[in-house]
Amino acid sequence: MSDAGTPLLDFFFAALRAIVIFAAVLQVVPALVYFERRLAAWIQDRIGPNQVGPVGLLQPLADVIKLAFKEDLTPEGVDKWIYRLGPALVYAPAILAFTVIPVGMDLQVASFDVGVIFLLTIGGFSVYGLAFGGWASNNKYSLLGGLRASAQLISYEVALGLSVIAILMTAETVDLNSIIRQQWAAGTAGLLEWNLFQQPLAAFIFLVAAFAETNRLPFDLPECEAELVGGFHTEYTGLKFAMFFMGEYVAMITMSALMVTMFLGGWSLPWVEIPTSPSIVDVALSVGIFMSKLVLLLFFYIWVRWTLPRFRYDQLMNIGWKVFIPLSLLNLGLTALSGVLGWNWLIPLPW
């Protein structure tokens, strides 16, 4: 999308992309919260929020107004600087990580030559927000929540990174648009060219690790209400709490978007030719395809949340270190071996 124009024009387009895409991600959050509450109600056979506006559609707006007008309490004995820094450090990395996600045909806020590594690096920074927020609150439950968060996030980051490396090895690039094109490129196999089917083990590990990285059930131990009140955000109110909350949802969107990009073919459709010089309509269509895949994956996230019970903390650590990391290493080894020998170890296809 970066037309070779004057530097000023380039700057204008870059700014426009950043504003539009970031604003769109922010708009998805309230919609997602509404979606989640309605789905949760549906799964649990209740009605859910249906009073504010038609079928409860204005409920997120009411929630936002409530959060914005709540008194912003700062409890006594907190470390003021770090207490304020916490929510920002959860929220900012989550939205920054979205920068490299191609939401449509070669359409992203900015493209770096380190691509997916940028996303993993920046996304990993949110652990500081959780840890700092938990520590600064001067509350033992918050501290335990922060500790759990940091331990959990680094444990699962290893498995997540290793599963991504397997993809990068087969793709031989870190550029997300190229990874999408490769999932389409061979063409003939169509759907089977998706990394989901090419690298099912990596896809499974990535999915589970993404749940753990975003603190979603069944891995939401850092804010486990039965043991820790609210975990790291117990002492936060009003907009500071909202920032934690939004950071979590944005991280969930970013992780799902990465999953769509790396395993589900991103903005491409199997069997549908990718035009070399896309028109505006093509780009709009590709954004639509990406969004539909994203919504399906977010639905899956919510579905899992309201279906599976929470793990115990020692189970979480055991699964992470003794199952997922060895599995991802095994997958890495098999991928390397298949790369050297030139065969596909999972699907012995004739081509």
Partner 1 sequence: MSGWLEHLVFGILATVSVLSSFLVVTRKNPIYSALFLVVMFAMVAGIFMLLDATFLGFMQLLVYAGAIMVLYLFVIMLINPRDETLPDEGGTSEKAFAAGVSLLVFALLTFGISNSDLVTEMTTPGGIPALAEVPATHGAIEAFGYELFSKHLLVFEVASILILVGIIGAVHIAMKQRPASADEDDSNEERLVTDV
Q: Is 146 in the site for partner 1 (CB under 8 A)?
A: yes
- CB of 3 vs partner 1, minimal distance in Å: 21
Q: Give me the residue label for tokens 């056979």.
A: 45
How far is 321 from 308, CA to CA, in rounded Å? 21
Q: How far is the CB of 121 from partner 1 (least distance, A)?
A: 4
Residue 51 or 121: the one with the smaller Cβ distance to partner 1 is 121
| One residue of 17, 37, 38, 148 binding partner 1 per CB under 8 A | 148
Residue ranges of the alpha helices (H) in 111-198?
A: 116-124, 126-136, 140-171, 176-185, 195-198
User: How far is Cα of residue 209 from the mean position of the Cα atoms in its chain?
Assistant: 10
* Residues in a beta bridge with 107: 104
String marking each residue 115-144 x if it binds partner 1 according to CB under 8 A: --xx-xxx-xx-xx--xx-xx--x----xx
Rounded-to-integer distance, Cα 91 and Cα 104, Å? 24
Q: Site for partner 1 (CB under 8 A): which residue of 56, 94, 100, 157?
A: 157
The window from 49-57, 145-153, 282-290, 300-308 that contacts partner 1 (CB under 8 A) reads 145-153
Enumerate residues 74-113 that contact partner 1 by CB under 8 A.
79, 82, 85, 112-113
Contact in structure between 319 and 311 (CB atoms under 8 Å): yes
CB closer to partner 1, 56 vs 133: 133
Half-sphere exposure of 96 (CA within 13 A, CB side): 16
Nearest to 49 by CA among 61, 39, 37: 37
CA 58 – CA 52 distance, rounded (Å) = 5
If one asks whether residue 154 binds partner 1 (CB under 8 A), the answer comes out as yes
Cβ at position 223, least distance to partner 1 in Å: 14
- Residue 104 bridge partners (DSSP): 107
Of residues 124 and 278, the one with the C-beta less far from partner 1: 124
- φ, ψ for residue 107, nearest 5 deg: -110, 110
- For residues 107 and 203, what is the distance between their CA atoms, to the nearest angstrom? 24
**Smallest gap from residue 40 Cβ to partner 1 (A):** 28
Cα separations in angstroms, 192 against 38, 71, 207, 340 = 33, 53, 18, 22
Minimum gap (Å) between residue 127 Cβ and partner 1: 5
Q: Give 125's DSSP letter.
A: T
Among 21, 33, 90, 174, binds partner 1 (CB under 8 A): 174
Query: Residue 113: is it exposed, middle or buried by C-beta count within 10 angstroms (0-12/13-18/19+)?
Result: exposed
For the chain, the residue count is: 351
Position 247 contacts partner 1 (CB under 8 A) = no
Q: State the minimum distance, in angstroms, from the CB of residue 131 to partner 1.
A: 5
Interface residue with partner 1, options 15, 19, 65, 114 (CB under 8 A): 114
CB closer to partner 1 out of 162 and 285: 162
Taking CB under 8 A as the rule, does residue 321 contact partner 1?
Answer: no
Q: Interface with partner 1 includes 151 (CB under 8 A)?
A: yes
Does 312 bind partner 1 (CB under 8 A)? Our answer is yes
Q: Which residues bind partner 1 (CB under 8 A)?
A: 79, 82, 85, 112-114, 117-118, 120-122, 124-125, 127-128, 131-132, 134-135, 138, 143-144, 146-148, 150-151, 153-154, 157, 174, 312-314, 317
